[in-house]
């Protein structure tokens, strides 16, 4: 399955049931037999689609971030500067409704650390190529200026995932304020100079 593509068919039934159980009982306390019973399928049907509970978790996570990845991909293909694309991505992430309530429920259970970490890791891995594409465009057109394009892409991808994963408007605003400060002032611990000057971003 392509990362970011919605899951369909019987596999979707299994992932939906698994998500429901992960939220009800916690990932650690949910057994494969619980998922099988919730869906009402044979054990062989489950193992036809998934080899383990962690495989189900990864499918659940990919389904949750599909809207997030689709949004970034759509913006990355627009006819505008890379600096504008980064701003559009940033401003749009707070409007994603899919998954925000799920994230809040995940964080309520301390035993869901594996669930949350998988969500963050998959989000970073899947979105990094899109961020690299935007940073590369910015370097070519001159709207972004950095000697460290990969680190810049990782930095923006990480903040985007944090915004996506934030559970409240207050947390989103705090992260937005932090990144605005990074773009406006020198931050040696990033990649040297980080400032925003109209349509040019220096990182």
Tens-place pLDDT, residues 89-100: 877 776 554 455
- Would you say 71 and 92 are in contact if contact means Cβ atoms under 8 Å apart? yes
Domain count, the chain: 2
> Which residue has better confidence, 83 or 171?
83
185 and 102 in a single domain? The answer is yes
86 and 139 in a single domain? The answer is yes
189 and 153 in a single domain? The answer is yes
The rounded distance, in Å, linking the Cα atoms of 184 and 56 is 42
In a domain, 166, yes or no: yes
Question: Does an H or E element contain 144, and which?
Answer: strand 144-145
In a domain, 57, yes or no: yes
In a domain, 28, yes or no: yes
The number of helix segments (H) and strand segments (E) in the chain equals 10, 3
The rounded distance, in Å, linking the Cα atoms of 140 and 126 is 23
112 and 21 in a single domain? The answer is no
77 and 52 in a single domain? The answer is no
* Domain CATH code at residue 158: 1.10.357
> Which residue has better confidence, 126 or 168?
126
158 and 190 in a single domain? The answer is yes
77 and 150 in a single domain? The answer is yes
Tens-place pLDDT, residues 106-135: 767 777 788 878 888 888 888 999 999 999
Domain of residue 137 covers: 66-202
């Amino acid at each position: 399955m392509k990362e970011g593509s919605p899951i369909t068919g019987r596999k979707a039934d299994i992932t939906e049931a698994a998500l429901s159980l992960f939220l009800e009982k916690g990932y650690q306390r949910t057994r494969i037999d619980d998922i099988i019973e919730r869906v009402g399928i044979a054990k062989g049907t489950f193992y036809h689609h998934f080899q383990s509970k962690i495989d189900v978790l990864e499918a659940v996570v990919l389904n949750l971030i599909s809207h997030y990845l689709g949004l970034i991909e759509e913006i990355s293909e627009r006819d505008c500067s890379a600096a504008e694309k980064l701003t559009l991505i940033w401003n749009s992430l707070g409007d994603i409704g899919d998954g925000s309530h799920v994230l809040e429920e995940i964080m309520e259970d301390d035993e869901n650390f594996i669930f949350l970490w998988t969500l963050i890791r998959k989000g970073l891995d899947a979105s990094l190529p899109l961020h690299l594409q935007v940073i590369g465009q910015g370097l070519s057109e001159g709207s972004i200026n950095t000697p460290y394009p990969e680190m810049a892409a990782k930095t923006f991808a990480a903040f985007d995932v944090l915004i996506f994963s934030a559970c409240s408007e207050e947390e989103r605003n705090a992260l937005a304020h932090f990144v605005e400060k990074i773009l406006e002032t020198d931050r040696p611990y990033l990649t040297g100079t980080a400032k925003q000057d109209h349509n040019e971003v220096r990182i």
